[in-house]
Amino acid sequence: MNRHVIQFSGGIGSFAAALRVAERHGTANMTLLIADTRAEHPDTWRFADDTSRLLDVPLTVVRDGRDPWQVFRDVRFLGNDRLAPCTRVLKQIPCRKWMTEHTDPEDTLVYIGIEATARDRARIPAIARNWRPWTTRFPLCGRWERPRTKTELLREAEAHGIQPPAMYRAGFAHNNCHGSCVRAGQKQWKHLLDVAPQQFAKAERHEEELRALLGPVTILRERRKGVARPLPLAELRRRQHAAPALPLPEAGA
Ligand code: SF4
């Protein structure tokens, strides 16, 4: 295979995957393919540009033109942790279209930077199936590599003189859609409310608009006495603000 296309998300896993491919195959036939969801934290593009400069490979940016909220309005469905049409519309379809127009599956490997956790490894067969007829590789999960923690991957970027994306520094596990991923659970949304209340407010406003349009849909659900019920972001925020603050630790504790 002569072409090496990195599905570069702006996340630390795809950065590390690009490094592994560069070490193994060089960068002359490498493409850094990134989909613009129009919802990323601005620092994602700084990180992407730094990576591009480090590897001396220009970014290849594809875009649908909409953001996730516009997609939800258009398909009349609010994404959630079970079904997120935004991924397909904003990432998979534009990337696949570019691959179809610019690469030969017989001569191209597609690299995905999923991390070597048991949960992520379980996704490999489905991802590989979705990419057919291209052949996929998962550099961080291969035999060439011992499993790395996210902290190790972030340190690797720093060792190359690149500051990791701001979302990791703000305590998020992933750098996608500015902490407002509809697949995230309550824990992440609460964290977003704590560290980026304006971004939470923006998501809450969009959710309310979609509820006005589509009925009582929500991103989050909660289970009470074994029964799942919708949990609007507005309700989550009210509960968080009503919750008593945790006591401060004793001096010297
Ligand atoms: S990161 Fe989350 S919100 Fe953004 S496109 Fe993917 S699934 Fe949708």
Q: What is the pLDDT of residues 176-189, one digit of tens each?
A: 999 999 999 999 99
Q: Is the pLDDT reported for residue 108 higher than 90?
A: yes
**Nearest residue (CA) to ligand 1, atom 3:** 181
Distance from the CA of 146 to the center of ligand 1, in angstroms? 28
Distance from the CA of 142 to the center of ligand 1, in angstroms? 26
Q: Token digits for 198?
A: 């304006």
Q: Is the pLDDT reported for residue 26 higher than 60?
A: yes
Tell me what pLDDT residue 245 has.
Answer: 60
Q: Is the pLDDT reported for residue 247 higher than 80?
A: no
CB atoms within 10 A of CB 215: 8
Instruction: Give the pairing of strands 30-36 and 59-63.
Output: parallel
Query: What domains can be seen in the chain, in order of their start residue?
Result: 3-169 (3.40.50.620), 185-242 (no CATH)
Which of 45-59, 101-115, 198-212, 235-249 bottoms out in mean pLDDT, i.e. has the lowest? 235-249
Asked if 32 and 58 touch (Cβ cutoff 8 Å), the reply is yes
Rg (CA), the chain: 20
Query: Which of 21, 6, 177, 33 minimizes the C-alpha distance to 95?
Result: 33
Global pTM reads 0.92
The closest-lying atom of ligand 1 relative to the alpha carbon of residue 184 is 2
Tell me what pLDDT residue 250 has.
Answer: 52
Per-residue pLDDT tens digits for 199-246? 999 999 999 999 999 999 999 999 988 999 999 999 999 999 997 665
Pocket of ligand 1 (CB under 6 A): 37, 39, 68, 79, 84, 86-87, 90, 176-177, 181-183
Burial class (CB in 10 A: 0-12, 13-18, 19+), 253: exposed
What percent of the chain clears pLDDT 90, i.e. is strictly above it?
89
Q: Is the pLDDT reported for residue 251 higher than 90?
A: no
Asked if 63 and 33 touch (Cβ cutoff 8 Å), the reply is no
Given ligand 1 and candidates 174, 176, 189, 206, which is best to mutate, with the most ligand atoms within 8 Å of its CB?
A: 176
Tell me what pLDDT residue 248 has.
Answer: 53
Stretch 105-129: mean pLDDT, rounded?
A: 94
Tell me what pLDDT residue 146 has.
Answer: 87
Distance from the CA of 77 to the center of ligand 1, in angstroms? 14
Q: Is the pLDDT reported for residue 82 higher than 60?
A: yes
* Lookup result for tokens 């507005």: 234
Tell me what pLDDT residue 143 has.
Answer: 76
Distance from the CA of 246 to the center of ligand 1, in angstroms? 31
Distance from the CA of 249 to the center of ligand 1, in angstroms? 37
Query: Which of 232, 188, 224 minimizes the C-alpha distance to 207?
Result: 232
Tell me what pLDDT residue 252 has.
Answer: 40
